[in-house]
């Protein structure tokens, strides 16, 4: 008998509700609701509009339940890092601040005066990339912000949405590791970190694990919106952890790595334990939880965000119809790039009104030829990103002590076939690309586990493999990429000086 499950996958620029039909072997998905949203700049801060997100959650629920009243459960995954607070009455204190807000980045040095970066890494095992939650929490502390004066419970974005739905305030573990407030060996909050930054542990809640049932839609919400109660499961609420859970792994025994390719390129490998070492720290990698007590050793690389920002700008010049295809074709036509950027340079991670100009200015400052046309700029970006991936894949090989045999690329970025082929060529590794919807697949696997339809992540990934459209890219000629890589490495080392 076919069973239906409701998935909410909210990304940083759009969200969707999907109903997955599971026939015991395979899954098909029906997108029942889609919406756009985005960060909002006001009073020198960039916020998320959490009530807009909640109203879209309700729209997704209504659309899905009217078509599929029999869904077994629902589960929500969103981007990581960000959180809001509820006060002592259980009311929302304010809109959550986004991980791209400048303040949390600017204040990281002050945090490190209290809790040195290396110590933070060793206590949490996480990447000390400034997008992580602790930097925002510290920024609130520094400002003596209302969030901390009135806030009684800190809830990550999916935790907050779950709380609005069910009335239960808890923190799901994979996303909790995106705060750097957890000790990933003990799988619990790390009081040493909280004490050092002067935050009361009481703001943190019971930790729940992917696959746990946390309740059902509360009566007041059902009455208000004319829907019926549905069990609420926590998946890996951090979308990347869900994406990794959903990878259609073709050979678990091979040394494989992954890139979750979207606005971020989250590159890494699955390991049994968090890895804390000099090499991991110095390479800006870190650990985050994925389901079943497993770990991902990852690096958060600013990726298609840069070209998305460029497209926003180009659309204002060339018209709103400018497609990804046209940008990719323009980059193909101009031929090999004469210039490169370091996509990890913080200026590329911030919202920019004119990203093409920021790229040109960076090239000028580094004494490189300035890319002029849309094609030149896109080519410079796509090649730089490809080389950055090669660089980090080599670091992963050094860290793990094994050559990589296979790379899985998942997420919206797999629609860029040229980029997938370039990554295969530049690293000389076969790439399995797809599906675009791995986060939803990973979300579903945890609902299937909660419903005892599958026993393990491994079994879930076999379902993902049977149900997904994947493309294989064999590595081609590496000569061009070897010479480009030499130039790129020179650029990276000149930056360090
Ligand atoms: N047809 C296409 N050709 C080339 N690139 C594409 C195509 N479609 C999407 N992309 C690239 O993939 C990126 C991400 O796509 P999309 O927004 O569908 O994914 P997503 O999973 O929602 O990403 P995120 O969750 O990180 O926001 C786009 O910014 C774009 O660079
Ligand atoms: C940086 C975060 O992990 C973010 O949630 C990431 O998962 C993402 O943007 C994927 O779309």
At 238, phi and psi to the nearest 5? -75, 120
* All residues at 6 or more sequence positions from 402 whose CB lies less than 8 Å from its CB, including other chains: 255
At 212, phi and psi to the nearest 5? -75, 145
State yes or no: pLDDT of 495 exceeds 80.
no
b/e map 39-67, b = 16+ CB within 10 Å: beeeeebbbbebeebbebbbbbbbbbbee
Which atom of ligand 1 sits closest to the CA of residue 261?
Answer: 26
How confident is the model at residue 180, as a pLDDT? 98
Ligand 2: residue whose CA is nearest its atom 3: 80
Which residues does ligand 1 sit against, CB inside 6 Å?
Answer: 11-14, 262-263, 304, 307-308, 324-325, 328, 411-413, 415-416
pLDDT, tens digit (0-9, with 9 covering 90-100), for 273-301: 999 999 999 999 999 999 999 999 999 99
How confident is the model at residue 492, as a pLDDT? 87
Ligand 1 mutation target, pool 311, 413, 433, most atoms within 8 A of CB: 413
- pLDDT > 70: percent of the chain: 100
Three-class SS of the chain: CCEEEEEEEECCCEEEEEEEEECCCCEEEEEEEEEECCCEEECCEEECCHHHHHHHHHHHHHHHHHHCCCCCCEEEEECCCCEEEECCCCCECCCCECCCCHHHHHCHHHHHHHCCHHHHHHHHCCCCCCCCHHHHHHHHHHHCCHHHHHCCEEEEHHHHHHHHHHCCCCEEHHHHCCCCCEECCCCEECHHHHHHCCCCHHHCCCEECCCCEEEECCHHHHHHHCCCCCEEECCCCEHHHHHHHCCCCCCCCCCEEEEEECCEEEEEEEECCCCCCHHHHHCCCEEEECCCCCEEEEEEEECHHHHHHHHHHHHHHHCCCCCHHHHHHHHHHCCCCCCCCCCCCHHHCCCCCCHHHHHHHHHHHCCCCCCCCHHHHHHHHHHHHHHHHHHHHHHHHHHHCCCCCEEEEECHHHHCHHHHHHHHHHHCCCEEECCCCHHHHHHHHHHHHHCCCCCCHHHHHHHHHHHCCCEEECCCCCHHHHHHHHHHHHHHHHHHC
Mean pLDDT of 134-158: 97
Residue 410 Cα to ligand 2 midpoint, Å, equals: 13
Whether the Cβ atoms of residue 433 and residue 409 lie closer than 8 Å to each other = yes
DSSP bridge pairs for 33:
17
Q: Tell me which residue of 361, 239, 384 sits closest to 301, measured CA to CA.
A: 384
Q: How far is the CA of 300 from the CAs of 115, 120, 128, 462, in angstroms? A: 22, 17, 10, 27
Residue 261 Cα to ligand 1 midpoint, Å, equals: 8
Alpha carbons within 13 A on the beta-carbon side of 409: 28
CA dihedral 274, 279, 284, 290 (to 10 degrees): -20
State yes or no: pLDDT of 497 exceeds 60.
no
d(CA 168, CA 163): 5
104/18: higher pLDDT: 18
CATH number of 247-434+470-497: 3.30.420.40
Give the residue carrying structure tokens 């493309």.
Answer: 471
Which residues does ligand 2 sit against, CB inside 6 Å?
Answer: 11-12, 79-81, 131, 239-240, 262-264, 300
Local confidence band at 83 (pLDDT 50, 70, 90 cut-offs): very high
d(CA 390, CA 427): 5
Ligand 2: residue whose CA is nearest its atom 6: 79
Interface TM-score (ipTM) > 0.90: yes
Ligand 1 mutation target, pool 265, 304, 409, most atoms within 8 A of CB: 304
pLDDT, tens digit (0-9, with 9 covering 90-100), for 418-459: 999 999 999 999 999 999 999 999 999 999 999 999 999 999
State yes or no: pLDDT of 252 exceeds 90.
no
Considering the domain 3-237, what is its CATH architecture?
2-Layer Sandwich (3.30)
Which atom of ligand 2 sits closest to the CA of residue 131?
Answer: 1
How confident is the model at residue 385, as a pLDDT? 98
Mean pLDDT of 161-179: 98
Local confidence band at 496 (pLDDT 50, 70, 90 cut-offs): low
Ligand 2: residue whose CA is nearest its atom 2: 80
Mean pLDDT of 400-421: 97
Q: Where are the domains of the chain?
A: 3-237, 247-434+470-497
d(CA 87, CA 80): 22
Fold match, 3-237 / 247-434+470-497: yes
Residue 407 Cα to ligand 1 midpoint, Å, equals: 19
The model's pTM is 0.96
């Amino acid at each position: 008998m076919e069973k239906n499950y409701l998935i909410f996958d909210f990304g940083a620029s759009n969200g969707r509700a999907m109903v997955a039909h599971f026939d015991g072997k395979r899954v098909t998905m029906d997108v029942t609701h889609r919406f756009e949203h985005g960060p909002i700049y006001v009073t020198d801060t960039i916020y998320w509009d959490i009530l807009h997100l909640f109203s879209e959650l309700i729209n997704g629920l209504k659309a899905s339940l009217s078509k599929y009243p029999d869904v077994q459960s629902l589960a929500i995954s969103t981007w990581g890092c960000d959180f809001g607070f509820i006060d002592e009455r259980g009311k929302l204190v304010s809109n959550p601040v986004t991980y791209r807000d400048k303040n949390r980045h600017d204040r990281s040095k002050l945090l490190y005066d209290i809790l040195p970066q290396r110590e933070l890494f060793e206590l949490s095992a996480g990447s000390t990339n400034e997008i992580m939650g602790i930097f925002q929490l510290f920024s609130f502390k520094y400002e003596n912000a209302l969030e901390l004066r009135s806030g009684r419970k800190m809830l990550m974005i999916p935790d907050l949405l779950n709380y609005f739905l069910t009335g239960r305030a808890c923190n799901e573990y994979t996303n909790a590791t995106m705060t750097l407030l957890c000790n990933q060996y003990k799988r619990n909050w790390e009081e040493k970190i909280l004490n050092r930054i002067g935050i009361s542990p009481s703001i943190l809640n019971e930790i729940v694990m992917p696959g746990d049932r946390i309740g059902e839609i509360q009566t007041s919400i059902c009455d208000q919106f004319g829907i019926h109660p549905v069990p609420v499961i926590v998946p890996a609420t951090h979308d990347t952890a869900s994406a990794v859970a959903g990878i259609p792994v073709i050979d678990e025994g091979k040394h494989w790595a992954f890139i979750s390719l979207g606005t971020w390129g989250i590159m890494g490998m699955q390991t049994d334990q968090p890895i804390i070492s000099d090499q991991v720290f110095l390479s800006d990698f870190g650990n985050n939880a994925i389901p079943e007590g497993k770990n991902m050793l990852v690096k958060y690389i600013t990726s298609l965000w840069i070209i998305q920002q460029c497209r926003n700008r180009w659309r204002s010049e060339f018209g709103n119809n400018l497609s990804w295809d046209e940008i990719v074709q323009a980059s193909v036509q101009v031929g090999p790039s004469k210039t490169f950027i370091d996509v990890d340079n913080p200026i590329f991670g911030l919202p920019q009104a004119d990203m093409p100009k920021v790229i040109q200015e960076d090239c000028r400052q580094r004494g490189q030829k300035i890319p002029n046309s849309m094609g030149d700029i896109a080519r410079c970006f796509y090649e730089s990103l490809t080389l950055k991936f090669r660089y980090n894949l080599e670091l992963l090989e050094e860290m793990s002590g094994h050559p990589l045999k296979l790379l899985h690329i998942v997420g919206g970025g797999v629609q860029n076939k040229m980029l997938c082929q370039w990554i295969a060529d530049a690293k000389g590794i076969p790439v399995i690309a797809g599906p675009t919807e791995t986060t939803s697949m990973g979300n579903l696997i945890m609902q299937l586990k909660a419903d005892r339809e599958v026993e393990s992540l491994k079994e879930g990934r076999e379902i993902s493999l049977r149900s997904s459209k994947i493309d294989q890219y064999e590595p081609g000629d590496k000569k061009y990429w070897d010479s480009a890589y030499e130039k790129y490495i020179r650029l990276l080392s000149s930056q360090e000086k």
